[in-house]
Chain A
Amino acid sequence: MDKILVGLKRVVDYNVRVRVKSDGSGVETDGVKMSINPFDEIALEEALRIKEKGAANEIIVVSIGTAEAQQQLRTGLAMGADRAILVETEESIDALSCARALLEIIKREDPGLVILGKQAIDDDNIQTGQMLATLWGRPQGSFASQVDLDGDKARIVREIDVGLETIEIDLPAVITADLRLNEPRYVKLPDIMKAKKKPLDQIPLAELGIEASPRIEKTLFEPPAERQKGVMVDDVQGLIAALKDKGLV
């Protein structure tokens, strides 16, 4: 195939313990470390490996967000993507609008494959890939832990609740990457320098002309209910006594 499109979302780094703002209007993101969504890194790694095997010519990374998301796109370029597209918007964007925007990019670029992360670790929605595949009228291989391309088909091993499911899908298609699909490479310093010269197009979201979607309002953010700290026991006998107390053994 000619092109593979990979989505990169800028999210709060997975090591950050997120705090809810005291007025309940959102979560604290000021001064917090931001990174590429880890699942999206896996998606990009998979695309790079497909290209390195000679099965694709060009890897395009795309992000939707503020101008700051250029940082994550540059990281994607340093990992080895050929060029980047930033769909720029100041507003936070819902999953359906995100899928509609990505569909417009698909129409412009005509990729043979789209790979996204299976979920973003900020909103944990797990929707965009499936919505995009649907709007595009194409199959999806969600939660993929193995991808084998075979001409105009792909065989996908999916991580599901009861084990592993294998499906075959026709290309083009949308694949969403699960944790064990691969281990993403580290970025090397010379690649960061090279990435600065790679093309990064900025397109205002409004220019894509996507339909407004019925918006779900987020009216309140709260910290989760905390579990009370329990008791410490000294030994196995103490543990068994405590379990018996609760009627659990």
Chain B
Amino acid sequence: MARILVIAEHDGVVLNPSTAKTVACAAEIDGAEIDIAVLAESSSQVATEAAALASVTRVRTVDNEANKHPLAAVLAPQIVALAEGYSHVFGPSTTFGKDLMPRVAALLGVNQISDIMSVEGTHTFKRPIYAGNAIVTMEAPADVTVVATVRTASYRAIGGGNAATVESADISVELPTHTRFVEMQVGSSDRPDLQAAPKVVAGGRALASEENFALIYSLADKLGAGVGATRAAVDAGYVPNELQVGQTGRIIAPDLYIAIGISGAIQHVTGIKDAGTIVAINKDEEAPIFEVADIGLVGDLFAVVPELTDAL
């Protein structure tokens, strides 16, 4: 039997959708018994949300002032204390999980499987490497804990309606003080979150300026879509870093992805491969984005995008 501990990602108030996707992955393992760990300053609200997720047996909470901000060095030893008796410890492959889970793995003395995209057996998983240019099957040893992150774009959030037991876990661990939270600058936007949005409109270098990105925002607002960008557009300062989609940014799977003025470098395409429908608008008919697009339109974005926005 697989006993799986899923580490909840949250902001102290709301459970991040990455958690329900991680549970969805864990639930694919044969005979999985899934618990969720919520480490917070005050866990009650998040724990209630976690307890509603299907397939979850128990929610184990650790309330501690030190857990107010998710500092990997502070969380990891507590997770290791909680992990006793589990065969698997899973976290989401978001920046939260990427920062934290290798610390858990190192404390347990095991290697980690990053970015699980499919479950092939209790200890066998597939994951992408080389920016998604290759898929490798990984077989973890059966005699040690499997520590892994889950590629959230590969999973749909598991449903709700459950009422799992919530219990406070009694752990006593010495926590480091060498890492301190200072501040957080969160992008202020009323638009849907890039990771969760069913529709995403994204722009590339061809937008040529921060001002011109208004074209992208207008179309996105008309569609009720989130906004994304390529590395080049972020590097050029047209948009903030949290909008970057691709190998080193966000990996997303919206129902509709509209790529505007995006050439389609492999590092970008790897971030959108799981999108339902990809639309490409580019003036260069040879652009590689058309190789992966379901619908392509060759044209000048500065003419096409306003026309599209008006026509919708």
Contacts and interface: CB of A to CB of B under 8 A. Distances in A.
Interface of A: 12, 14, 17-20, 27, 94-96, 99, 118-119, 121-135, 138-140, 142-143, 145, 155, 158-170, 173, 178-180, 213-224, 227-240, 242-243, 246, 248-249
Contact of B102 (A126, A222, A239, A243): A126
Nearest to B145: A214
A96 B135 contact: no
Given A161-B195, A180-B241, A134 B103 contact: yes
Interface string B58-69: 000000000000
A5 B133 CA distance: 31
B86 interface: no
Contacts of A214: 109-111, 140-141, 143-144
B291 interface: yes
A167 B248 contact: no
Contacts of A122: 129-130
5 contacts: A27-B133, A130-B99, A140-B103, A161-B94, A222-B134
Contacts of A133: 73, 103
Interface stretch (B35-43, B160-168, B182-190): B182-190
B311 A237 contact: yes
Contact of A227 (B255, B256, B292, B295): B292
Interface in B119-139: 124, 128-139
Contacts of B89: none
B172 interface: no
A243 B312 CA distance: 11
Contact of B95 (A18, A161, A180): A161
Interface string B194-234: 01000100000000000000000000000100000001001
A130 B291 CA distance: 37
Contacts of B184: 162-166
Contact of B130 (A121, A179, A218, A242): A121
B187 A163 contact: yes
A17 to B, nearest CB: 7
B103 to A, nearest CB: 5
- Top-9 shortest CB links A-B: A230-B294, A130-B102, A134-B106, A131-B106, A127-B102, A166-B182, A160-B95, A220-B137, A170-B178
B179 A167 contact: yes
A131 B183 contact: no
Interface string B230-256: 010011000011100001101000011
Given A94-B111, A121-B247, A240-B308, A17 B133 contact: yes
A231 B138 CA distance: 36
A241 B72 CA distance: 48
A96 B144 CA distance: 14
B273 interface: yes
B44 interface: no
